[in-house]
Amino acid sequence: MNRLMIISLNSDPILQYGTEHNGGQSKYVLELGKNLVREGWNIDVFTIKNSNSEDIVSITEGFTVYRFPLLNSQDYSYSVKEEDISEITNSITHFIRENKYEYNMVLCCYWLSGIIGLELKKELSKNTLITFCSLGYFKELTPDNCYRIDKETYIAQNIDHIIATSDEEKRILIDFYKAKPDKITIIPRGVDTNKFKKINEI
């Protein structure tokens, strides 16, 4: 059976939507996982453990969320430090070795996850993909965001493949981040047609 690792550090797919760190990315990971399970995949999501959350939660058979604590058991915030990334990377690596899990590929969601994905690639030797979900390119140029853009550039140039959500995102990845065009695939975000319809269909 195919097995996919999804790294979604900043967004837990089963916490309450509409809170500070849980929105569209969480829904994307949840629905992607559900649909891939129907296609015969096993899905393991790796995210950050916040206070009062369980270490392991099974969403459905073959779809599991694993949570790993930050240093000092702090909750996730956007100011994740290098030592936090190193701690999470080591925890995930140890978990994989201990459980002897084999993955067909790794999908990273958001740039923080991409940093870990590239580190785990050395351990797993598997194709590693990323969907950035958002880009620092669109943010104000603060020192923190310049750091983010530097990391996004490194990821875009070294990851095996990028899933962009639009032609505009692909253009930015090529022109600004210098990603190779042939390793970018455009897959627009899905829409629940039971809830949303085109204006001319209402």
At 173, the pLDDT band (50, 70, 90 cuts) reads very high
The angle subtended at Cα 165 by Cα 145 and Cα 173, nearest 5°, is 50
* 54, 32 contact by CB (below 8 A): no
Does 71 score more than 80 pLDDT?
A: no
CA 63 to chain centre: 15
Q: Which residue has the tokens 């899990």?
A: 101
Does 69 score more than 90 pLDDT?
A: no
pLDDT at residue 138, as a whole number: 83
pLDDT at residue 179, as a whole number: 97
CA 170 to chain centre: 18
Would you kindly state where each structural domain of the chain is located, as residue ranges?
3-201
What tens digit of pLDDT does each residue of 97-141 get? 999 889 999 999 999 999 999 999 988 888 999 999 889 888 877
Domain range 3-201, CATH architecture: 3-Layer(aba) Sandwich (3.40)
